[in-house]
Amino acid sequence: MSLLEVITKASIENSPTTSDGDFSIVLNSEPALLQLKPEKEESDDISLLKRGTGWSLLSTDVEVIESGQKFFKNLKKMMKNPNTFNKEGFFEVLVSYMTGIWDIFGISVSPDKVDEGNIVKMIEKLGSFMGRDVKGLVLEACVVLETWEILESMIVNGIVDHSGISSLINNLIEKKQSWLVVLCVKHVLDIQTYDMMCVLKYFLSLSKNGDSTLINVRREWESQAMSAIEKAKDVSLGPVRMDIARDASLLLMLAHDGFSVSEMCLHYLLASRNVDEVILGACISKLTGSEIMVLIRYLQKWLNKYERFPQVCPCPKAPFELGLKACEWVPSLEDIVKCLGLVVDEHFSSLVLHQEFHEELKSLEEVVNSLTAEAKICGILSNVTEALKIKTQSIEANIGEFDEVWRTRATQANKNAKESYNPHPEKVAANLNKHVHRSEEGSNSTRRDLHKYNGPCVATNPIDRCWRCDPHWAKNRQKLADCVLGFGHHTTGGKGGKIYIVTDPGDNDMVNPKPGTLRHAVIQPGPLWIIFAHHMVIKLNQELIMTGDKTIDARGQQVHITGGASLMLQYINNVIIHGLHIHDIKSGNGGLIRDSINHYGFRTRSDGDGISIFGSTNIWIDHVSMSNCDDGLIDAVQASTAITISNCHFTHHNDVMLFGASDSYKQDAILQITLAFNHFGQGLIQRMPRVRWGFVHAVNNDYTHWIMYAIGGSQHPTILSQGNRFIAPPNPNAKEVTKRDYSPESVWKNWVWRSQGDLMMNGAFFVESGNRNHKFMTGPDMIHPRAGSDAGRLTRFSGSLNCIEGKPC
């Protein structure tokens, strides 16, 4: 029998009808079905969907809808006048509406008195008949009048849906109704990521004893634990249920003993069906340092308990067999380990830099190692164990032992950053634009000449014009230091120092590097201008740790850093890197590495960035060609600032640039970086750059390729995009230049992202945000950028140059 025949038969007969298929279909006669008939008896339409006529709402449904509309209008009108809107009036119209619904169904009800208690009983029975608009308005009225019993009933009985939960959670947090926030987590499905993040931050900010409303949380866990203990002694339950009760009593005592009431709130969140790994990761990424510490200590308590009581396991039967519903809200060991892994992944920078986290991480590593040895969910634990091992061993960004030397460097670096920070970044941007206008020459064509240029010297931008067309550049190499513009304009590198000639491409001794090697050069004290005797390919066995006041100048030779580890600029000041090819960089294994003439120490595994700038200032990277590194091409993190990246050519890479490594590391607000005259070319996917916290001026760059997006960010960075050319990819879903991470539009709409004079091609578009009246500079000091149509010409000679001594470069 076909499904259509089953439905037809059921519409006519009063008795239940079943199909004779593999799965029975039970249908009963429904008056509404008897009225249905095709709109046209005969039709040539071969569609399986046929328009029907004869459908109508039941009269009771119509009355319920009309009653709700009338109530909505009355309540809305009452709420418009906050001076007269009160509980008595609200209760009266609400009871009238609810009793009206009962009357529609022929049930005569007259409550003894109009109060919250009776309204709660009515909502339990009739709340499901409220329409969405009515529910939302009643919730709003409950919050305004603080009728918490009614609100609790609506939450517990499933009358709150996802359409109204966001504003409700925010209002409850604002009014510090912690118990109701807990109930939202327990009973409301489909809570959105942003709202769950607000709940997590709220729970982590509560004092140990929480507020007065949280006495219900303590009572719930205590009563459930005591009930489990009593049931474990009740022989009338039988041996099977007694065993379930014993397991549940141990589980519930673990969840109760030793946890503050505010920590018990976290139980509900970690065990919630609303929270998967993606949502939890997004929430954790937004935590501050103090919130991370609270969460780590909470997770550590759980891990210690699971280590001490290895026999404890979830009790899925206890809620149904014994009514011990709290067992559903006990985070499993797997939940705890996943959360810990996300904390480690999302907050690497904070965990690395701040001393207060170090002991916590070392303790966690010991507990996790112990649990792994016991083979408790070993797959997940082994991943976290490895991550913790890396974090605790590299506890100051690959520094195995953060000794007095490194502490002194970090302190000085922090001082340098504060001194280098410019409180008027818009003036730096305007000064660069002024120099571009002064150097203007040649065609305004938007076309990029893809052929190798063999003509006379053409310096197309002000940085190049400063030195490139001088045939005697090799005799006056240090003039290059006078040419930098942008936020790194104070960088002098090794100017005033001796010339050091690298003669040996080898890198065999990390502790006592051989004279003539690049590793020996970069650890020398004082200013030094490092050049190369001939073409060479250098494979670094471990990351190259530089000291300050250095210039690496590869002009006149083709120098490739490839196949090995990366360049590390950590807690140093005043470095120029010019003319290198950096590609195919791999993660270093770590070991003993010399970082200065008088110091060496143990380093852990490096990330595999092309150039890593960590807590460093006054950095200029110019005419460097970069591609295909294990991690990023250039990362600038941990309050690095006063950086210019110019005339570089980037190709064939996923995560191109990361400026600011953590949403929780507010010190990166000091970050100021200029991107000028760079070509973002073939094979790039995203992050050109991705920015947190700081200020980035991207000016006259040529973005000819991306797959996902070009410029992204989180944590309200300021981005000024001027005179760039953006050529979107063919993919219609990747036309947007910009991407905001981990924040709803209500948040990122306040971030200042501006596009001025950019050229958008092939459907590219830049989503601006921030106050529309915000101006970076006004009056006679305001200098507009060169147009994006000039970007192809200004970046024509990006990347490493083929300079020959005695000739213009």
Coil/strand/helix, residue 690: strand
Reported as a single tens digit per residue, the pLDDT across 160-201 is: 877 778 889 999 998 889 999 999 999 988 888 889 999 999
- Domain 425-794 falls under CATH 2.160.20.10: yes
Q: What average pLDDT does the segment 209-228 reach?
A: 84
Amino acid residing at 332: S
Flag the least confident range among 438-447, 454-463, 502-511, 597-606: 438-447
Q: 447: pLDDT confidence band, cut at 50, 70 and 90? A: very low
Q: Work out the percent of the chain whose per-residue pLDDT is above 90.
A: 48
pLDDT for 772 equals 79
Q: What is the pLDDT of residue 580?
A: 98
Convert the pLDDT of each residue in 384-405 to its tens digit: 545 544 444 444 567 766 778 8
Res 135: pLDDT: 87
Amino acid present at 418: K
Query: 600-627: per-residue pLDDT in tens?
Result: 998 888 889 999 999 999 999 999 999 9
Among 228, 254, 232, 229, smallest CA distance to 243 is for 232
Q: What is the pLDDT of residues 79-107, one digit of tens each?
A: 988 888 898 888 888 888 888 887 887 66
Report which of residues 151 and 29 the model is more confident about. Answer: 151
Judging by DSSP bridges, how do beta strands 550-553 and 528-532 pair with one another? parallel
pLDDT top residue among 20 and 225:
225
Hey, is 730 helix, strand or coil? coil
Per-residue pLDDT, 354: 53
pLDDT tier for residue 420 given thresholds of 50, 70 and 90: very high
- The predicted pLDDT at position 55 comes to 58
Please state, rounded to an integer, the average pLDDT across all residues of the chain: 84
Residue 719 sits at the vertex; the CA angle it makes with 713 and 723, to the nearest 5 degrees, is 125
pLDDT value of position 338: 84
The answer to which of 83-87, 537-541, 591-595 has the lowest mean pLDDT is 83-87
Instruction: Give me the pLDDT at residue 392, please.
Output: 44
**Can you tell me whether residue 68 is helix, strand or coil?**
helix
> What amino acid occupies position 638?
Q
pLDDT of residue 49: 53
Q: Is residue 303 a contact partner of residue 256, using CB atoms and an 8 Å limit? A: no
Give the pLDDT mean for 719-739: 95
Beta bridge partners of 552: 530, 577
Residue 395, pLDDT score: 41
pLDDT mean over 435-459: 61
Give per-residue pLDDT as tens, 295-320. 988 988 888 888 888 888 889 999 98
Residues 732 and 701: beta-carbon distance below 8 Å:
no
Q: Is the pLDDT of residue 554 over 60?
A: yes
Q: What is the DSSP letter of 453?
A: P
Between CA 269 and CA 191 the distance in angstroms is 11
Least confident of 287-301, 385-399, 453-467: 385-399
Strand duo 753-756 + 718-722: pairing: parallel
Of residues 128 and 211, the one with the higher pLDDT is 128
What global pTM score does this model have?
A: 0.59
The 10s digit of each residue's pLDDT in 254-264 is: 898 889 888 99
Residue 23: predicted pLDDT: 45
The residue ranking higher by pLDDT, 92 or 526, is 526
- 687 in active site: yes
pLDDT tens by residue, 744-791: 888 899 999 999 999 999 999 999 999 877 777 665 555 678 899 999
Mean pLDDT of 139-143: 90
Q: Which of 447-461, 538-552, 589-603 has the highest mean pLDDT?
A: 538-552
d(CA 399, CA 602): 6
Cα distance between residue 163 and residue 620, in whole Å:
50
Identify the active-site residue in 555, 594, 605, 687: 687
**Residue % of the chain over a pLDDT of 70:** 82
Q: Where are the domains of the chain?
A: 1-38, 57-160, 200-395, 425-794
Phi and psi based region of residue 374 (left: phi greater than 0; alpha: psi -120 to 50; beta: remaining): alpha
Residue 443's pLDDT band (boundaries 50, 70, 90)? Answer: very low
Tokens of 129: 């008949």
The end-to-end CA distance of the chain, in Å, is 85
Instruction: Give the pLDDT of residue 334.
Output: 84
Q: What is the mean pLDDT of residues 432-442?
A: 76
Alpha carbons 299 and 303: distance in angstroms, whole number: 6
